[in-house]
Amino acid sequence: MNYAKSTQNEINKYLNAVRKNMQHAPEEEIDEVIMHLQEQIDVAVEESGDASNESDHIKRILSTMSHPESFATSSDQKSKGMQWGVVALLTAIVSWAFNLGAVPHFSLAAVVWILLIAIAAVAAVTGRKTAVGKVAIAILILEAVSFPVIHGLNMETKEAKETKETKETKQSTELSEAAVEENRADLTKLQGKWTCYRNNQRWVKEIVGDKETFAIFVDGEAVYGHTHTVKLSKRGSVCIYATSAGQITIGKRKGEAMKPFSFIYKLNGDSLIESLGFLDKASNLSDKTQIVTWKRSTAGSLADREQEPEPKGSIVLWRVGSPHRGDTPPELVPEYLQDLADKQGYAVTVRSFAAKDFHKVFWAAAEKNAEPDILHIDNGGILGDRRRNYIMQTDLGNFTGISAKENIRKSLINTRGLGGWYVLVSTSRNHAKARTLVDREPEPELPASAQEGIPELAPNEKAAVSQLCIDAFTDSITGDDSIIKAMADDFDSLPVRLWADRVDGVKVKKVKAYGVFGTDRLALGLVTATVDKPRKDDRMAQLGQTTTLFIFRREHEGEWKLIATRGVGGWEPWIWDMLKDLGNAKPQEQEAVTIETPKLLSPADGARRPRSPRPDIEWVGGGDDAVKYVVEAQWGSRGTDQWYLSNFDVFSENAIMQGENGVIKMGAPFGAGAQPHRWRVWAIGPNGETELSQWRRIDFSN
Amino acid sequence: MSQWITQLRKGIIEYAILLLLDAEENYALNLVRRLNEYPSLQVSESTVYPILARLKKESKLSLRVVSSSEGPPRRYLSLSGKGREQLKQMKLTLEGINRSIADIENSHQETK
C-alpha cells in the first residue's frame, strides 16, 4: 500500500526496532517476519476503514501490535539480561566504594552515590535472572544493611565535622540562591499575555508581576475568569507553578475564593507547557490531569477581550477530531500539507477542535468571515449527510454536520491528492492560496523498484500509448464517450464508474501520462491530472489530483485497443505484476505463441452464491504457454445493467494449481458486497499476447 | 509453574500452526487470529511470525502471493511435503507422549 512519507516513517521506525531486536536471527527469517508485519499493518489499515493515511492513525495501529522487544530471541534476551547484570554488578561495586569512603570526597559525591545505587538497583532487577544480576542484588542488600553500621562508627573529629557542616551550609545557600535567581528569570519570561485553544474554547491569561488574570472565551464571550498570585519554585529540575489568593472574577461562581493549587510547568521560548492535576487538583478547571500548551500572544491587553486575529495572509487550517473517539487532534500541520505550503512560501496556522458542537464554532466563524481556509477531518459526520438530516449519531451523542446550513454546504470543496480528508471553504479569506496547494502540477513518481523487470515499449509506441491514455482520460471526464468507444476493444466491458458522474463545467487541468510500459502486445499507462469539478445536486464540488490506469492490447502490428481501466491511488505494485515476467521486451525476436481463450466453467452464469466463505471459480484455457492469469471482476447494483470499477487479481502460472485437463480452480478473489458481480479471466502469453474470456455473472447473497 | 506452561506452549504453538495450515492455506495475521480463538493457545504475532519464518526457511512452508486491488496483497502460506512430514512426526510423538502419560496416571490410580 502507499502511505504518506510521515506514515511510512512511523512504520519503518517500528519495523527497524523489530529488526534490531532480532539481530541474532538469520537474515532470511528476519525479512520474513518483517514482511508478515508489513502485511499485518496493511490489513489493519484496510480493515479499520480509515483512509486518512495519517501517521497518528498508524501510531494507534502500531500500539496494538507486539512490542518490538518481544521479537528478541531468547539468546538475545539472555545476552541483554547478562549485559544488565554486568552493569548492576559494576555499579554496585563502585557504590560500595562510596559507602566505605574509598572514593575521595567531592562536591556532588552524595548525588553521584545515590545515582549509582539507583542505576545498580534498576539494572539488577532487569538482569535478575542472571548470576551476575543476583550477585549485584546481594551486594546492594548488604550495602543497605551495612550503611548505618559503617556510618554510625565513622566518628568524625569535632573540628572536621564543623568544617564539613560549614561547607555544606555554604553549598546549600549557593544552590538556593541559584534556584531563586532561576525562578525570578522564569517569572520575567512569563510576563505578558498567553493564549491556547481547547475544543471550542479560547483560553487567555496575562501575567503582570506576580499576578495572573485568566479567562475562557467561547464564541468571543468570556464565560469564566479568575485572578491569583503566582509563585514559582523548583524541586530538583522540576519547575513548580503555585497559585494563592485566587478569586473567580467571571462566570456563575464570580466572587468565590479559590483554593490554592500548583502544577508542573516548562517554559520553552514562546511556549509554556503546564501539567495540571499531577501535584494537586486544579479544582476550578478540571479534576483530570491534563497538559495545556500556551503560546505567547502578541495581541493587546486582556482588557480588550477581542477575538485575536489570525496572522495576516496565513492559510488557516482547522483540524477536527472524531465523533466516535471524542478526541482533539494535535495542533500540528500535517507534514505533507506543510511541505506543500513551504514550497509556495505560505504560512499555515492550525487550530484543533473536538467534534462535539463543532458546527456551532464553524457557523459562528463563518458569520464573521473567519471560517478556515482548509478543514481537516477524518469522518464525514463533521460535514453531514442530507439523507440523515445532517445528524450523525455515535456512542458519544448526536453531531450536527456543518452542511446543515445551505450557504456552508455550497461553500465546501472536497479535495483529492493531499493524503487525507481535506475540505476547502470557497468563502474563506485565503481561499485562493489554499487552492494552489491542491490545484498544482502533477508530480507522479514511479519508484525505480517498480520498473525492475518491466518491459519497456519502443519510444514511438510509448508516445502513442501515452497519447491514447490522455485522450481516454479527458474523454472520460469532459467528453461524450466517442473517443473511448473508438479505441475500446469492447466498450460494454469497461466499467461506467469513470464517466458516470460527469458534471457540466468540469475542467481537466495539468494532465500527464506516466508509467507507460509493456510489450508490443500489452501496454499499461497511468494518467494523473488535476480535475476541477463544480458542485452538482448534493455532490460536493471537487478539486484535486486523480489517477487512472488504462490497459491496452493489440494483435500483431494492429491497433491498440483499450481493454480495461480503473481509477487508482497512484503507483500500486499489482499493476506491474501484470507485466512482470513477460518476454524480454524484444518480442520480435521470440517465437510467437498461441494463447487459448480461457473458458469459464463454474459457477454457472447468473449463479447465486454466498460471499462468505468465498465460492470457488473454475476455468480452463490459456494453454501451456500462458505465463499469467488475471481475474477481472466488476460489481453492479441490483436492478441495473451497469457495472462499476474493475478489480484485477494477478496470478503467475506457477502460483496456481492446475488440475486435470488444465482446469484451474481457486477461491473467488473478489466480492465487494451482497450484490451482483461479473468476472472474466485473461490469459497472458510470454510476449503479452492476451486472450479474454466471456463475462460471467455471480450474485452474492451475503 | 509459569515457566513450564511457557515452554509447553512454545512447542505446541508450532504444532497448532502446522495443523491449521494442513487444513487450509492461510496468511500470517489470520493464523494469529485463528490461534487466539482458543483460550489456551493465545499468542501474539511476535511468537507466531518467527516460527513461520523459521519453518519457511526450513522449506516446510510454501508461499503464494495473491495481489488484490481491494486491499494489500496477501502472502498465503501452506504446508510443503517437508512440512507435512514434520506434522506427521509431531503427531506420532504427541500420541506417544499422551499414551505414556495415560499409562502412568492409570497405574497411579490402580496403586491407590
Residue in B closest to A669 by C-alpha? B68
How do residues A391-435 score in pLDDT, each as one tens digit?
999 889 999 999 999 999 999 999 987 878 899 999 999 999 999
Q: What is the average pLDDT value for chain A, to the nearest integer?
A: 82
Binned at pLDDT 50, 70 and 90, residue A238 comes out as confident
A58 touches chain B (CB under 8 A): no
ipTM field: 0.80
Preferred mutation among B69, B79, B80 to probe A, highest tally of A CBs within 10 A? B69
Residues in B closer than 8 angstroms to A665, CB to CB, are none
Contact flag B68-A669 (C-beta cutoff 8 Å): yes
A581 touches chain B (CB under 8 A): no
Higher pLDDT, A155 or A531: A531
pLDDT at A136 over 50: yes
Packing angle, helices B2-23 and B28-36, rounded to 10: 120
* Residues linked to residue A691 through DSSP beta bridges, in sequence order: A683
* Nearest residue, CB atoms, A46 vs list B52, B54, B71: B71
* Nearest residue, CB atoms, A65 vs list B45, B57, B74: B45
Q: Is the peptide bond before A603 cis (omega within 30 degrees of 0)?
A: yes
Contact flag B69-A26 (C-beta cutoff 8 Å): no
Mind giving me the DSSP string for A341-375? HHHHT--EEEEEE-STTHHHHHHHHHHTT---SEE
Residues in A closer than 8 angstroms to B29, CB to CB, are 36, 39-40, 43
How far apart (Å, rounded) are the C-alpha atoms in residues A75 and A79?
Answer: 6
Binned at pLDDT 50, 70 and 90, residue A371 comes out as very high
Q: Which alpha helices (H) appear in A49-190, and where do they start and end?
A: 55-63, 74-99, 109-126, 131-153, 158-190
Do A15 and A37 touch, CB atoms closer than 8 A? Answer: yes
- Among A111-115, A393-397, B106-110, which is the least confidently predicted range? B106-110
How far apart (Å, rounded) are the C-alpha atoms in residues A12 and A24?
Answer: 19
* Ranges A52-66, A465-479, A660-674, B68-82, most confident: A465-479
In angstroms, the separation between the Cα of residue A570 and the nearest Cα of chain B is 12
In angstroms, the separation between the Cα of residue B27 and the nearest Cα of chain A is 8
pLDDT at A551 over 70: yes
Q: What's residue A159's pLDDT?
A: 52
Q: What's residue A599's pLDDT?
A: 94
Q: Which residue, among A327, A385, A334, has the nearest Cα to A358 in the 3D structure?
A: A327
In angstroms, the separation between the Cα of residue B33 and the nearest Cα of chain A is 11
A40 touches chain B (CB under 8 A): yes
Q: Which residue, among A229, A420, A435, has the nearest Cα to A329 in the 3D structure?
A: A420
In angstroms, the separation between the Cα of residue B20 and the nearest Cα of chain A is 17
Tell me what percent of the residues of chain A surpass a pLDDT of 70: 85
Residue window 530-569, chain A: list those with CB within 8 Å of chain B.
Answer: 566
Q: What's residue B102's pLDDT?
A: 84
B27 touches chain A (CB under 8 A): yes
Residues in B closer than 8 angstroms to A66, CB to CB, are 44-46
Residues in B closer than 8 angstroms to A655, CB to CB, are 64-66
Cell numbers found for residue A42 = 496493511
Residues in A closer than 8 angstroms to B36, CB to CB, are none
Model's pTM, two decimal places? 0.50
* Nearest residue, CB atoms, B50 vs list A29, A647, A669: A29
Q: What's residue A337's pLDDT?
A: 87
Contact flag B75-A36 (C-beta cutoff 8 Å): yes
How do residues A576-595 score in pLDDT, each as one tens digit?
777 877 765 444 556 678 88
Contact flag B67-A655 (C-beta cutoff 8 Å): no
Q: What's residue A442's pLDDT?
A: 78
In angstroms, the separation between the Cα of residue A528 and the nearest Cα of chain B is 18
Residues in B closer than 8 angstroms to A28, CB to CB, are 53, 57
Contact flag A647-B70 (C-beta cutoff 8 Å): yes
* Ranges A245-249, A463-467, A491-495, most confident: A463-467
Do A360 and A200 touch, CB atoms closer than 8 A? Answer: yes
Residue in A closest to B73 by C-alpha? A39
pLDDT at A26 over 70: yes
Q: Which residues make Cβ contacts (< 8 Å) with residue B4, sequence separation at least 6?
A: none
- Among A525-539, A603-617, B2-16, which is the least confidently predicted range? B2-16
Higher pLDDT, A572 or A481: A481
Q: Which residue, among A207, A200, A241, has the nearest Cα to A223 in the 3D structure?
A: A200
How far apart (Å, rounded) are the C-alpha atoms in residues A436 and A306?
Answer: 31
Preferred mutation among B42, B46, B80 to probe A, highest tally of A CBs within 10 A? B46
Higher pLDDT, A361 or A146: A361
Contact flag B49-A670 (C-beta cutoff 8 Å): no
How do residues B63-107 score in pLDDT, each as one tens digit?
888 776 556 677 889 999 999 999 999 999 988 888 888 888 887
Preferred mutation among A32, A548, A578, A682 to probe B, highest tally of B CBs within 10 A? A32
Between chain A and chain B, the number of residue pairs with CB atoms below 8 A apart is: 92
How do residues A194-211 score in pLDDT, each as one tens digit?
888 776 677 888 888 889
Q: What's residue A304's pLDDT?
A: 40
B21 touches chain A (CB under 8 A): no
Binned at pLDDT 50, 70 and 90, residue A300 comes out as very low
Contact flag A32-B29 (C-beta cutoff 8 Å): no
Contact flag B69-A28 (C-beta cutoff 8 Å): no
B45 touches chain A (CB under 8 A): yes
Tell me what percent of the residues of chain A surpass a pLDDT of 90: 22
How do residues A169-184 score in pLDDT, each as one tens digit?
565 555 567 778 888 8
Residues in B closer than 8 angstroms to A565, CB to CB, are none
Binned at pLDDT 50, 70 and 90, residue A471 comes out as very high
A25 touches chain B (CB under 8 A): yes
B54 touches chain A (CB under 8 A): yes
A626 touches chain B (CB under 8 A): no
3-state secondary structure of B79: strand
b/e A243-255 (16+ beta carbons within 10 angstroms → b): beebebbbbeeee
Q: Which residue, among A169, A170, A164, A176, has the nearest Cα to A105 in the 3D structure?
A: A164
Residue in B closest to A578 by C-alpha? B67
Number of C-alpha atoms within 13 angstroms, CB side, residue A168?
A: 9
Average pLDDT of the residues in B49-57: 91
Higher pLDDT, A380 or A656: A380
pLDDT at A80 over 90: no
